[in-house]
Copies of this chain bind each other. A is one copy, B any other.
Amino acid sequence: MKLYIAKGAGFCFGVKRAIDIAFKVADEHKGGVYTLGPIIHNPQVIEELEAMGVHPVKNVSGLRGKKVGAVIVRTHGVTLQVMNSLVSKGYNVIDATCPYVKKAQYYAKLLKDEGYQVVVLGSKEHPEVKGILSFAGKGAVVVKDPSELPRLKQKVGVVVQTTRHVDSLKELLGAIVGQIRELKVYNTLCSSTTQRLKETEELARKVDVMVIVGGKNSANTTQLANLCRSLNVPTHHVETASKLRKKWFEGAERIAISAGASTPDRLIKDVERKIKSYWRKGH
């Protein structure tokens, strides 16, 4: 049996940075530290932070009546309105928005200011996309694929949720360009996501079983699993090693592990160890 691990699996730059910030702020404040929503989409990391005194609240009104030492804005960022609300209420705001997401917000605003109708490629429900959209002005739309495009104005600007697949951007531009006269695109895809998708795809093409490790609520992790499934490889998405089942690997000669940007290395290692233990027992 051969076991491969995607090199880009696990915490990306933006997630590492946000978690470092959270631990540092927790240390400085000893309680009273809140994040707007879970800081990353990984339940295991959230538990650790809870133990350190960093508590997620659902929204700004969830802070009411609490002794708030600091409010951490998570990697996904928040809408312009939420940021304004936090600042105007006088909270100590610690901005851990991923710098790549910040860029996407900035470019959405720039396109709007330059008179473009902004199209955000992404999932309407994803907090990152909600944040970006809030900078994109009136008439801006979010689409997850070309079928959702409305009738467009003649000047269209495009930004992308940082964790999409580059192919969906290519497809979108193809659908837009024939309809309009001017198109400006900021490729705000994060390079580590692109790399991770590419490596995961390459592995999926050569193995018998794929294991994707990470939060079930993590969009970028789920995307990895869906990518592998679309290539017809038996694929298992688990949050922790305890969810692995030996029978998934029966007869498999090549297995690969990949993981989302919000998956701690520790959980990936656990999965690796457990799969190797099946192998040892089986031979």
Contacts and interface: CB of A to CB of B under 8 A. Distances in A.
Contacts of A187: 177-178, 180-183
A6 interface: no
Interface in A70-105: none
A181 B180 CA distance: 21
Identical chains bound together, number: 2
A190 to B, nearest CB: 12
Contacts of A173: 170, 173-174, 177
B184 A185 contact: yes
A185 B183 contact: yes
Nearest to A175: B170
Interface string A105-134: 000000000000000000000000000000
A194 B181 CA distance: 13
Contact of A177 (B180, B181, B185): B185
Interface in A138-177: 166, 169-171, 173-174, 177
Contacts of A174: 170-171, 173-174
A145 to B, nearest CB: 15
A184 B185 CA distance: 6
Interface residues of A, number: 17
A178 to B, nearest CB: 5
A186 interface: yes
Given A185-B184, A185-B185, A170 B177 contact: yes
Contact of A178 (B166, B177, B183, B186): B166
Interface string A185-212: 1110000001000000000000000000
Contacts of A180: 187
Interface of A: 166, 169-171, 173-174, 177-178, 180-187, 194
Given A177-B187, A181-B186, A182-B184, 11 more contacts: A166-B177, A169-B178, A173-B173, A177-B185, A180-B187, A181-B187, A182-B187, A183-B183, A183-B187, A184-B184, A185-B185
Would you list the 6 A-B pairs with minimal beta carbon distance, nearest first? A170-B174, A183-B185, A173-B173, A166-B178, A184-B184, A181-B187
